[in-house]
Amino acid sequence: MQRLEKDRNKDIVKGIIIETLYVVVMMLLAYVIGFVMVKL
Q: Tell me how far the alpha carbon of residue 30 is from its chain's centroid.
A: 15
> Which pLDDT does position 2 carry in this prediction?
72
SS3 40: coil
Q: Is the pLDDT of residue 38 over 90?
A: yes
> Which pLDDT does position 19 carry in this prediction?
98
Which sign does the torsion angle of CA 9, 17, 14, 18 carry?
Answer: positive
For the chain, the domains span 1-40
CA angle, 35 as apex, 39 and 37 as ends, to 5°? 55
Q: How far apart are CA 36 and CA 28, in angstroms?
A: 12
> Which pLDDT does position 17 carry in this prediction?
98
Task: Give tens-digit pLDDT for 6-36.
Answer: 888 999 999 999 999 999 999 999 999 999 9
